[in-house]
Structure 1
Amino acid sequence: MWRRPRRFVVLLVVLELVALVGFAVTWAYSPVPTGTDWLRLAILAAGATVHIQLTQRQEERRRNRAGTVLIDLIAVWVFPATLVLPATLAVLLVVLIRLQRWFTARRPAHNFVYSSVSHALAAALAGLTYAATDPGDWTAVSAVGSLREFGLILVAALVYEGVQVLYVGGILAVASRRPTSRTVLGSRADNVLELITTGLGAVTAVLLVTLPPAVAVMAVVTVVFNRLAELDQLQDDVVTDPKTGLLNMRGWTESAERALNRVRRAGGTLAVLMVDLDHFKWINDTFGHPAGDDVLAATAAALTGVTRPSDVVGRFGGEEFLLLLPEADTAAAERAAERIRTAIGDLRIETTDKRGARTTVGRRTASLGVAVFPRHADSLEGLMQAADTAVYEAKEGGRDRVAFARPPG
């Protein structure tokens, strides 16, 4: 841990000290557990244990493939503890679960401890918040009263998720040299999975109070969802470039074809941009291939930052990138291309040289080729060919410039 950047170590220690204060407050304000509380804790712990043991290999494979945030579905067992147990027992449940996770985590101890602390603090504060709202008896709640109870559960869920976002997202942002929303907060699919998992946790809480034996069903549900999450991750890996996190050619082509079909049906226009980093081989030869990978990742982040959510961004291969801009005419495509060229030129990339020493790569340039549908071609293959030809014209014209494709004929 002490070899990590100073800002990382300082933030980690500070947040863990803050968590200790939170745990002290939890112990001070939580009621003494009853026999029913201990029984419910045992049921949740048993369900979590079954879940962990049956999905151990899946979790290990998912963790090995995950490049950023990993959603492990444990909220199905922890979140109900924040709703039906004293906050102290919710923390104890997190400890029991994390002890089992230790044998499959395969992470540095300080990372694992920090992650465990963030989970436990989220459960503690969510439990205290929910208890402070004076919830009613679920077994005797009326139809109108159930709306209030549902609202209180949402408040607890916001606290539970918010604390984890603050702790996990904060440390990932500091640890990353080029933090992005995906690396810090996870993908959209990751967040949807987290919301579903928390929702299933609320269902588990209701079952635990009203029909405890039915909690066994949730163990089966979590195993199935874990498998679905692994399949979704595998599908994402098939269409994602591992070095940049962008779409690879397969993923880009599929998305681009769908976008082109929509524009063709609507009688609209779109643009295809090809971006080629100038003198990229010089970076690899001068600083080493790890530095070249850092430049590619930084370029990918820059492209994502200056494009619209509807734009399709991918890596063509080597040092080339492809972008499809729906509803972009010639003028809009030119503005976008110049914006991209400027963004790449402004990059200052912290990396290492061949000897591992810290260095900065900057003042890089790119040549861009632009083709517009339907002016330059009426198919995706034709647009890519036209944009590729324009890139060569930009390079022959002196590099660090934008060139448009020539109309057919």
Structure 2
Amino acid sequence: MVPAQRSGHSRRPREWLLWQRPKRFIAFLLVGEAIAITVLITATAYSPRPDLTDVVRFLILAAGATIHIQLTRRQEARRRNRGLRGVLIDLTAVWIFPAALVLPIPLIIALVALVRAQRWFSARRPAHNFLFSSISHALAASTAHLAYTALGPRDWGLLDGWQFVVEFGLIVVAALVYEAVQIVYVGSIIALNSARPTMQSSLGTKADNVLEAVTIGLGAVTAILLVIMPPTVAIMAVVTVVFNRLAELDQLQSDVRTDPKTGLLNMRGWTESAQRTFRRAVRSEAGLAVLMIDFDHFKEINDTYGHPAGDDVLRRVAELLTEVTRPGDVVGRFGGEEFLVLVSDVDALQAYHTAERIRHRVSTAAISTRGKRGEPVTITDRTTSIGVAVYPQHGRSIDELLHAADAAVYLAKEQGRDQVRLAGETPFRARH
């Protein structure tokens, strides 16, 4: 788990992107790294010296990691370039986590350094990002190692009966420690770099965390193979190359359905999800409504503050929609400054109240961004016009509901904006 990285670094320290980040970000980064380095130095000083077996295992893991990294350089570059915001799962945990289980701390740190150095030469991202990510990997692996050894693990070649279950439990504990350290350390730095952090942006999506769990699981398998039958680790080198490709394909599939600017479903993704929800509603004879949200006078924001500020506003509106709606509702970006929400199990009045909550939350939001000259600004008192179409009164298909909601939006704008209109009905006027 690492923070997604941005390009645009300079060789001149004063021009580093780091100094453009929020002060709280810089303070946490520097203090956190100082503490982490102190912990690593102390743990190394008290760690037993590596023996020949440790060195051989280190070389095997280093060779496997190198094969993995070099054979997936282009795939990984594409995957990282698509994940420029939020959390990015680093698949090299397949090699780093087994080191946490079977190697002493000096060799754990050496393996992390080797892996991260290769990532640096292939990605060429800002140095402070790579330093932070490298320290986070080393800290997580070393902490997991200390937790695992403190529990008194046994020689895997001598296990019998219930001992297998107990040892498996110890590996699970080490995996949880490994993940917990990264969640706290990396999640905190991501949250501090965001004006309005969310659980998803800081800790990753459900798919991100499943990918991380699978990666750590493969790492545990690698450790077992390394101890029981070292030559078979070559199989894991092949597996990780295929796994990297599958991760890229999964991301590509997600990208096809996701709006890159807001992280919401795009029109294709929204339509697919909405159709499935619609079919379930028809079968169960449940109510359903489509809300079309149009941000009023959005062009003024771009003209006044610049397009990056407009993008920040769109992202914040997307976050608000996610916060106001339920997990089962389908939220997407229709295009431009328009959004769509499919709300299930509601009647016309309930759908209106949902739309009104959205209108109110947007109108009271204070959105922090930067102006055309980079100065901090806060955008407030923005409004939306919302059209609501309910099944089956206003349409018996998603397309019919979309047309009805769109017509209601236009009517809301003609009536003065900042209001919710129900398709084909007398307007519900917003209270000011």
1:10-409 alignment runs, 5 A limit = 10-67=27-84, 68-406=86-424
Give the AA of the match of 2:247. Answer: A
In structure 1, what is the Cα distance between the partners aligned to 2:220 and 2:409?
54
| Cα deviations by residue, 1:284-308 (Å, 9 ceiling, x for unpaired) | 2222222111111111111111111
Q: Deviations over 1:78-108 (max 9, x none)?
A: 1011111112221211111111111022211
In structure 1, C-alpha distance between the alignment counterparts of 2:33 and 2:150, rounded to whole Å: 24
Alpha-carbon displacement from aligned partner over 1:88-138 (angstroms, at most 9, x marks no partner): 221211111111111022211111101100010001100011000000111
CA distance in 2, matches of 1:281, 1:99: 45
Distance in 2 between residues matched to 1:238 and 1:197, nearest whole Å: 24
Q: Distance in 2 between matches of 1:123 and 1:356?
A: 39
CA distance in 2, matches of 1:149, 1:62: 35
Determine the C-alpha separation between the residues in 2 that align with 1:87 and 1:132.
14
Specify the alignment match of 1:2 in structure 2. 19
Aligned letter for 2:338? E
Tell me by how many angstroms 1:355 deviates: 2.6
Partners of 1:308 and 1:89 in 2: how far apart? 47
Name the residue aligned to 2:11.
none
CA deviation vs aligned residue, 1:167-217 (integer Å, no higher than 9, x gap):
111111111223223321222211111100000000011101111100000
Post-superposition offset of 1:75 = 0.8
- Matches of 1:321 and 1:123 in 2, distance apart? 43
- Partner amino acid for 1:312? V
Secondary structure of 1:276's counterpart equals strand
Q: CA deviation at 1:20?
A: 1.6
Deviations 1:37-56 (A, max 9, x none): 11111110110000011001
AA aligned to 1:183 is: S
TM-score by length of 2: 0.92
Provide the C-alpha distance between the structure 2 equivalents of 1:352 and 1:137, rounded to a whole number of angstroms: 58
* C-alpha deviation, 1:6, in angstroms: 1.1
Query: What amino acid is aligned across from residue 28 of structure 2 in structure 1?
Result: L
CA contact under 8 A between 1:352 and 1:358: conserved in structure 2? yes
Q: In the superposition, relative to structure 1, how do residues 231 and 171 fare at CA in structure 2: closer, same or farther (>3 Å)?
A: same
Question: 1:306-325 deviations in whole A, cap 9, x for unaligned?
Answer: 11111111011111100001
What CA distance in whole angstroms lies between the structure 2 residues aligned with 1:75 and 1:236?
22
Moved more, 13-22 or 113-122: 13-22
Deviation at 1:17, TM superposition (A): 1.2
Alpha-carbon distance between aligned partners in 2 of 1:8 and 1:105, rounded to the nearest angstrom: 23
* C-alpha distance in 2 between matches for 1:88 and 1:339: 55
Aligned partner of 1:150: which letter?
A: F
Structure 2 Cα separation of the partners of residues 233 and 124 of structure 1: 30
SS of 2:19's equivalent? Answer: coil
Residue deviations 1:22-65 (CA, integer Å, cap 9, x gap):
21331243222111111111110110000011001111111111
Q: Which amino acid aligns with 1:344?
A: V
The TM-score normalised by the length of structure 1 is 0.97
Q: Is the 8 A contact 1:30 1:128 kept in 2?
A: no
1:354 shift after superposition:
2.4
SS in 1 for 2:416: coil
- Give 2:132's aligned amino acid: Y
CA 1:326–1:29: 2 relative to 1, 3 Å: farther
Deviations 1:240-284 (A, max 9, x none): 111111111111111101110111111111111000111111112
Conservation of the 8 A alpha-carbon contact between 1:348 and 1:362: yes
Q: Which runs of 5+ in 1 are unaligned?
A: none
Q: Partners of 2:397 and 2:45 in 1: how far apart? A: 68
Q: RMSD of the TM alignment (CA)?
A: 1.2
Secondary structure at 1:2's aligned position in 2? helix
- Which amino acid is the alignment partner of residue 205 of structure 2? S
Give me the identity figure in percent: 62
Q: CA deviation at 1:327?
A: 1.4
Contact 1:105/1:112, CA 8 A, preserved across alignment: no
* Local SS of the residue matching 1:356: coil
